[in-house]
Amino acid sequence: MAFALEARSVVKAYPVGSGEVRAVDGVSFDLQMGEFVALVGPSGSGKTTMLAILAALLRPTSGSIVIDGQDLSRMKEIRRAVFRRRKIGFTFQANNLVSYLTALENVELMLRLNNELDAAGRKRARELLVLLGLEERLDALPRQLSGGQQQRVAIARSLINQPTLVLADEPTASLDTERAHQVVQTLANLVKEQNRAGIMVTHDLRMVQYADRVIHMLDGRIERVIQPDDDLSCLADPDSCQMIPVDTLGLSA
């Protein structure tokens, strides 16, 4: 079976003084279509660096990333940029919305960049924003939106091109509890229904219940993978959880 994503022995090293820091230190995993995975771990464990590599924004020092059967490391920069726009949707902690475009226009912009802004695309942009609870804010500029609303616009923008791979770094950081559940559930459902692959970095224990798997990073490596048969719901309620020593997950920060 073809995987949506294959990461093999990925390393990202930064020179520091006379030595180096390995932000990512030999990470390998696969993601199938329809799979939604949570990436967790303490601050500094390499989550954002890994996401940036998967988003083709950062080249690894070594190792390979294959998305939809295509090896990123073999692509020239221009092709990588086109591939990124078409196949990868991402939201990073800074939302980077275009300040003079409305919420709807920010989402439509991604279609425009691919020369794919037609009536169907416009309808999809509107539907995504409605699904994310922004039906009243379609024509608002970013500065007229709360942090959480901006974050949801960024999530809609990451999904509009119907990418193979959807990446989100702390998508619930500025959302209240109710909204956080709604947004992550929507994200998880869209990944399932539309048969995409999704990775969400999160510090929020309550959000891992929507994931099919939890990948736990520590010091640039995968410390462990928590599978669906391990009761994920117990992560949200550590007191009742005997099986997984939650203290070691570095999630309580």
Between 142 and 250, name the residue whose CB sits nearer to ligand ADP. 250
Edge-first strand order for the sheet with 70-71 is 19-31, 5-16, 62-67, 70-71
By the rule CB under 6 A, 49 interacts with ligand ADP: yes
Residue 229's identity, in one-letter code, is D
With CB cut-offs between 5 and 8 Å by kind, which of Mg ion, ligand ADP, none does residue 34 bind?
none
Do 203 and 171 meet the contact criterion of CB atoms below 8 Å apart? Answer: no
Among 33, 38, 46, 89, binds ligand ADP (CB under 6 A): 46
By the rule CB under 5 A, 91 interacts with Mg ion: no
Cα 118 vs. chain centroid, distance in angstroms?
26
* Strand ranges in 75-218 using DSSP code E only, listed in sequence order: 88-91, 165-169, 197-201, 213-218
Q: Segment near ligand ADP (CB under 6 A), from 44-52, 94-102, 119-127, 176-184?
A: 44-52
**Which x/- pattern, by CB under 6 A, does the window 8-27 give for ligand ADP?**
------x------x-x----
Instruction: Name the nearest CA neighbour of 41 among 222, 187, 199.
Output: 222
Q: Segment near Mg ion (CB under 5 A), from 40-48, 130-138, 171-179, 241-249?
A: 40-48
Pairing state of beta strands 221-226 and 213-218?
antiparallel
Instruction: Quote the CA–CA distance of 101 and 106 in Å, as a whole number.
Output: 6
Q: Segment near ligand ADP (CB under 6 A), from 37-45, 101-109, 124-132, 148-156?
A: 37-45
Instruction: Quote the CA–CA distance of 185 and 91 in Å, as a whole number.
Output: 16
Between 51 and 244, name the residue whose CB sits nearer to ligand ADP. 51
Between 44 and 148, name the residue whose CB sits nearer to ligand ADP. 44
Instruction: Quote the CA–CA distance of 122 and 239 in Å, as a whole number.
Output: 47
Among 48, 95, 161, 209, binds Mg ion (CB under 5 A): 48
Among 4, 10, 31, 47, binds ligand ADP (CB under 6 A): 47
Residues of the shown chain interacting with Mg ion in the complex, contacts defined by CB under 5 A? 48
Residues of the shown chain interacting with ligand ADP in the complex, contacts defined by CB under 6 A? 14, 21, 23, 41, 43-49
